[in-house]
């Protein structure tokens, strides 16, 4: 049963992600050509700033999903209801905090954009749309978690694909007809709301017997264990943000929006490749968690070794392809003015390989809920990356930023 569910999850997740990746590249290409690389730089920076606000989420989703594996395997609906109630109430609190921080950040974010063509009030409105998109993703997070833990992540993938393909078509139409970033962002938020409606319906159809609204509260000891993991996850999220999201912000501030826009295009490619591999591991993670809960350590180790070898094969192929094909692809996709030198591309390729080789390890760690053991290593990575980025950009520009990312990836682990 585990193998069957994993195969279904992987096929649906990978297929939907490939379709969405194509839609993303089409939308980004149209966006950059219609509105310009300046706007692309603004979008990359704002997306990264909003991901910083999302640190408030504390990794709660990952931290609680592994707690659902055993009660689902045991058919303990009462315990499932307790966990889902805790999950929903926590996300309501997180949404309120993120909204408040988003309002404050809306006054600060425009100051990072030095180009005078952008009115500050207009930038603040754009930024709030990115905040609203994040808030919309929190609405039914508890229902997404249940589908994931029950080895039905393919339903989440299907809902995401339907909503985002619809949004992509409408966003391209809006850009071509109206050249409006405002309408582009309205469609973005509407797509997220459509996804929520599809997920809610899928949940209600499959779990009408699980009552979480009036479920008992979690035991204090269980809350303590959860919060202990969540605190460790916060450290990992800070490190992840530092490695993946601060670069565009620093480039925008110390250089210009065009450089940030070009860097954002390359980041879109690397993130797309990493996220594509994530679809594979997201399809496996619930089954691997079930394996940990029900099988021997030796069998779990053998399965992990096979996945680690697969990880190596995937990212060897991705890295070689990125280095050889990124220049002609960029020229075709965005234009000849949006291409980095071979040295920058080489460093971006090394960064992709190092980040990619962590995917199977992260999958196993998430399945087992092991976040506390290496939490201080994650903070060490974040500090090294931020300090080196701020120093290196003064001397080597974008090359310095990517070099700082690579050094921080190698120095601590």
Q: Model confidence over 375-399: pLDDT tens digits? A: 788 888 888 999 999 999 999 989 9
Q: What is the pLDDT of residue 178?
A: 93
Are 277 and 314 spatial neighbours (Cβ–Cβ below 8 Å)? yes
Q: Is the pTM of this model over 0.85?
A: no
More confident residue, 287 or 321: 321
- For the chain, what is the mean pLDDT? 85
Q: What is the pLDDT of residue 349?
A: 97
SS3 171: helix
Distance CA 340, CA 125 (A): 31
Q: Mean per-residue pLDDT for 63-87?
A: 81
Question: Which phi and psi (to 5°) does residue 187 adopt?
Answer: -65, -35
Q: What is the pLDDT of residue 191?
A: 95
Are 291 and 299 spatial neighbours (Cβ–Cβ below 8 Å)? yes
**Of 292, 88, 369, nearest to 203 (Cα)?**
88
pLDDT at 59 over 60: no
Q: What is the pLDDT of residue 83?
A: 85
C-alpha separations of 365 from 2, 288, 358 in Å? 19, 10, 11
pLDDT band at residue 30 under the 50/70/90 scheme: very high
Q: What is the pLDDT of residue 218?
A: 76
pLDDT in tens, 81-113: 888 888 888 888 888 888 998 999 999 988 888
pLDDT at 341 over 60: yes
pLDDT at 180 over 80: yes
- Return the DSSP state at 218: P
pLDDT band at residue 327 under the 50/70/90 scheme: very high
pLDDT in tens, 140-151: 888 888 888 887
Q: What is the pLDDT of residue 367?
A: 77
**pLDDT above 70: percentage of residues in the chain:** 93
Distance CA 278, CA 273 (A): 9
* Region class of 370: left (phi > 0), else alpha (psi between -120 and 50), else beta: beta
């Amino acid at each position: 049963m585990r193998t069957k569910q994993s195969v279904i999850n992987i096929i649906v997740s990978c297929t939907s992600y490939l379709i969405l990746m194509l839609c993303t590249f089409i939308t980004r290409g149209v966006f950059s050509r219609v509105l310009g690389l300046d706007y692309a730089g603004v979008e990359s920076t704002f997306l990264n700033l909003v991901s910083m606000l999302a640190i408030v989420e504390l990794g709660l989703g990952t931290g609680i999903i592994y707690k659902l594996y055993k009660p689902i395997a045991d058919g303990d609906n009462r315990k499932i209801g307790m966990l889902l109630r805790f999950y929903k109430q926590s996300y309501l609190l997180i949404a309120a905090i993120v909204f408040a921080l988003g309002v404050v950040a809306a006054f600060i974010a425009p100051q990072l954009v030095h180009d005078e063509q952008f009115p500050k009030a207009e930038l603040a409105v754009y930024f709030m749309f990115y905040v609203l998109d994040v808030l919309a993703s929190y609405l039914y997070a508890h229902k997404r978690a249940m589908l994931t833990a029950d080895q039905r992540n393919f339903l989440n993938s299907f809902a995401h694909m339907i909503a985002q393909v619809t949004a992509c078509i409408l966003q391209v139409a809006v850009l071509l007809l109206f050249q409006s970033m405002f309408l582009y962002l309205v469609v973005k938020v509407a797509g997220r709301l459509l996804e929520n409606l599809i997920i809610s319906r899928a949940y209600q159809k499959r779990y009408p017997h699980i009552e979480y609204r009036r479920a008992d509260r979690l035991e204090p000891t269980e809350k303590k264990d959860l919060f202990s993991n969540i605190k460790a996850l916060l450290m990992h999220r800070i490190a992840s943000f530092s490695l993946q999201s601060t670069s565009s912000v620093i480039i925008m501030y110390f250089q210009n929006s065009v450089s940030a826009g070009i860097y954002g295009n390359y980041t879109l490619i690397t993130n797309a490749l990493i996220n594509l591999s994530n679809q594979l591991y997201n399809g496996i993670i619930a089954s691997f968690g079930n394996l940990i809960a029900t099988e021997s350590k030796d069998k779990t180790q053998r399965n992990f070794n096979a996945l680690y070898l697969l990880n190596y094969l995937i990212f060897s192929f991705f890295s070689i392809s990125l280095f050889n094909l990124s220049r002609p692809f960029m020229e075709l996709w965005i234009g000849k003015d949006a291409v980095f030198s071979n040295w920058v591309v080489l460093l971006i390729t090394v960064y992709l390989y190092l980040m990619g080789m962590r995917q199977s390890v992260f999958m196993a760690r998430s399945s087992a809920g092991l976040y506390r053991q290496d939490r201080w290593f994650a903070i060490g990575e974040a500090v090294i990356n931020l300090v080196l980025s701020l120093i290196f950009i003064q001397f080597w520009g974008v090359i310095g930023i990517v070099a700082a990312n690579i050094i921080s990836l190698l120095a601590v682990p």
